[in-house]
Every structure is written in structure tokens, then in C-alpha cells.
Structure 1
């Protein structure tokens, strides 16, 4: 009768010597850590001349300089983390702008099927006989809105989408202009109208960029969001 001894026993494997795995750092940093600094400082003290010991002021200055350098490094790290957090927060806030309307400098007026078209005329000084004129794609004047006398600043106007006969005009893009009298002289006024925000971008140097059918503008150039 013979007995076979299996060398593949899990128990035997558990009691045999295992190969030692030495953990190695994936990347060695060349940065001088606080531990390295104090090691160098200890070596410096151990090799100093007993008859001419190191000056306490110099030692304190070295420690202060290292502490300041370490503090600046930590501060830069915190600023990078803060900048990343602010960028993420800006992207989240910018996403809520999609679908809203931005008041931009433009003389085109978008008329929806049922809603009104709104905008602002910008008067640098008090103006009299202010009139808002709306023309269609063919250049025909379809509506004149009499705003009367207005103080300096942005003068909001609303067009209900009807012509002079009160008939509702088809939706689409119309052209709007404003003119009024200042000190007895008639002149044109700048116009700003509301545009639908189709998308937004986050640009590191320019901040938040909003995109409309007329192009892209910086959020800082938008007078109003509605």
C-alpha cells in the first residue's frame, strides 16, 4: 500500500515562504518635502564647527523661508481647486440659460405665432416724439409705435404683432428702428431686442458665451435675461 503526498495542497502552499513584493513608487517626486528639509537641517547641525556654531538667526531664517515656500505651494493648490470648482459651478449655472431670451444690441425683431415682440431703445439724453417703426422683410412699414417723450436711458417697447389696421401679422423676423428728437434735432437711437439662447459655452478667457441665431456673444455683454 502506497501513500501519495500531494504537493499542491492549499495548506502546504499557505505555510511555504512567499515571494516578497517590494512596493515601489510609480513616480518619484523631485520636490523637497518638509521631512527632507529637516533631514538636511539635522545633517547641517551635526557637521557644524563647534568653535563656530551656526547662527540662530540664520537657522530661523531658513526655516521661515521653507515654511513660506510650502505655504505658497499649498495656496496655489487650493486656488487651483477653487478655480476648478468655480468653473463647474459656472457651467451648471450657464446650462439654465438655454431656452431663455437675452437682450442684445440688434435691429431684428422676432415675432412668435402668439406672443409679443419686445425690445429697448437706448436714449443717451431725454428724447421727444420717440417713435418705434417696424418693417417687414420687403422693407414695408407695417407698424409705428408712438412712445412720446422719454427720459434718458433704456426705453422698453412692446409690439403686439399687429399692423396699423389691427390685423395679426405672420410670425417671423422683422426689422425695427427708433428715432426721436433731442434738442430739436431728430436722430436714430440704438436698438436692443430679445433673442432666444440656443446654447452656451464655457471659455476660460472669455467666461460664459451664449449662442443665438445671430451669433455668439459674451454673457457680460448681455443687458438682460428674460
Structure 2
């Protein structure tokens, strides 16, 4: 039977856990040491009557400092992104079982209550038009107006039609379009309330699985109920 090392087993080599990090630090230190040795050798070998220009020496020292600074900056950014990813994963896990406002195209309308939805408005869009379409592809209601660029636009539909009647219960589709700064028409994302069933921690980011069967990115969630 296979056994695993216990916490107190002295045969386990804990130093192996830090070998990767130590090798990175050692490589950076070796690079600096090599540069300084070359610089000292250059100073020792220079012609006393024609010494190295101070500006040239300062430039070389600045170069190695720049390389070292970039290495440290990259390491800091990697640690920051790792911490952000962990934080995002914890936030996503807390959504399980809750209702969220996420991308959705079809809605089940109940005449006894209002249909709630929302439009994601890009930062370059200030005019939005929304169309509600029945299962036969007919536009049953429309709304439009000016909006604040980059602001999430929530709205409700009570099923009232232009002829004064009430829309029947069933499946409806909502399509939204906007006019950007160049005067071009662009399709906008429509969102609806959906329950979160589970979350996935993928390489390309946190994915949220919804009760409707769709999967959306965690960064597309607009509101949480």
C-alpha cells in the first residue's frame, strides 16, 4: 500500500518548494554581478591618459538598473494579477444560487408582473433603441432615447401594447441597438435576471454557468440580487 509523508516526516525535502523562486533571484543577482565585474575590469584596463567618460559609465550603470527594475516590476505585476484572480474567484463562488443580471436574449413574460431587463451601454454610445419581439418575429413594442455613455441602463416592460391591449404570456426576444460617436449603428448586449448554478475557474478567466444553460464571463455580470 502506498503511503504519504506525514507533516512531521523529516525525510521530506521542504527546500524543494523554494527552488524555482531561488533560481529566479539567483539569475538576476548573477546578471548584476557579471555586469559589475565587467565594469570593474574595464576601469582597471582603461588608458589613464584617456579614461572612460563619466557619462558613458553612468549610462552603463543606468542600463543594468533599468533591466533590474523591469524584472522587479514584472514580478510585482505577476503577483498582483495572481492576487486579483484569486479575489475574483472568491467573488464568483459567492454568486452560486443567487440571481444576477447577465447577458440574455430570450425572456419568459408573465402578464402578472413586469419583465425586468437591462442594456450594457458602451462608453461611445449616447442613443439607444430597444425592440421587443414575439416568437413570430413581430415587433410588439419599442422604446428609445438618450442615455449616459458607459452607464448600465435598466428598464421594465409591463406588456402594454400600442393598441391598448396586453401582451400574452410566453417567450419574447429583446434586441437593443445604439449609435456610437461615429454615427454608426451598433448592436448592444441585453441582460436579464438569471440564477447562477456554478462557476468555473478557467485559464481565460472565471466563467459563470447559469440556470438557462448558458455560460458567461464573470466580468459581464452587471448586477446581483
TM-score by structure 2 length?
A: 0.53
Q: Is the 8 A contact 1:100 1:196 kept in 2?
A: yes
| Ranges in structure 1 where 5+ consecutive residues have no aligned partner | 1-24, 136-146, 160-173, 179-189
Q: Is the 8 A contact 1:177 1:191 kept in 2?
A: no
Pairing partner for 1:44 from 20, 42, 45: 42
The alpha-carbon distance between structure 1 residues 84 and 191, as it changes in their structure 2 partners (threshold 3 A), is: closer
The structure that has the greater radius of gyration is 1
The alpha-carbon distance between structure 1 residues 58 and 109, as it changes in their structure 2 partners (threshold 3 A), is: same
1:201 and 2:197 correspond: no
Instruction: State how far apart, in whole Å, the 2-side matches of 1:63 and 1:93 are.
Output: 45
1:69 and 2:67 correspond: yes
Instruction: State how far apart, in whole Å, the 2-side matches of 1:78 and 1:55 are.
Output: 35
Instruction: State how far apart, in whole Å, the 1-side matches of 2:97 and 2:109 are.
Output: 15
Pairing partner for 1:101 from 96, 99, 102: 99
The alpha-carbon distance between structure 1 residues 82 and 51, as it changes in their structure 2 partners (threshold 3 A), is: same
1:175 and 2:163 correspond: no
TM-score by structure 1 length?
A: 0.53
Q: Is the 8 A contact 1:210 1:216 kept in 2?
A: yes
Q: Is the 8 A contact 1:107 1:192 kept in 2?
A: no
The alpha-carbon distance between structure 1 residues 100 and 157, as it changes in their structure 2 partners (threshold 3 A), is: farther
* Aligned-residue offset at 1:62: 0.4
State the Cα RMSD in Å: 4.3
Deviation per CA, 1:87-115: give whole Å up to 9, x if none: 1111111111111112342424399xxxx
Point out the structure with the larger helix share: 2
Q: Is the 8 A contact 2:97 2:197 kept in 1?
A: yes
Q: Is the 8 A contact 2:114 2:156 kept in 1?
A: no
Instruction: State how far apart, in whole Å, the 1-side matches of 2:52 and 2:115 are.
Output: 78
The alpha-carbon distance between structure 1 residues 53 and 217, as it changes in their structure 2 partners (threshold 3 A), is: same
2:156 match: 156
* Aligned-residue offset at 1:223: 4.0
1:85 match: 83
Q: Is the 8 A contact 2:109 2:172 kept in 1?
A: no
1:119 match: 116
Q: Is the 8 A contact 1:119 1:156 kept in 2?
A: yes
* Aligned-residue offset at 1:201: 2.3
Instruction: State how far apart, in whole Å, the 1-side matches of 2:81 and 2:66 are.
Output: 22
The alpha-carbon distance between structure 1 residues 220 and 55, as it changes in their structure 2 partners (threshold 3 A), is: same
Instruction: State how far apart, in whole Å, the 1-side matches of 2:45 and 2:84 are.
Output: 50
Instruction: State how far apart, in whole Å, the 1-side matches of 2:56 and 2:190 are.
Output: 68
3-state secondary structure, aligned to 1:33: helix
Instruction: State how far apart, in whole Å, the 1-side matches of 2:158 and 2:198 are.
Output: 25
2:218 match: 219
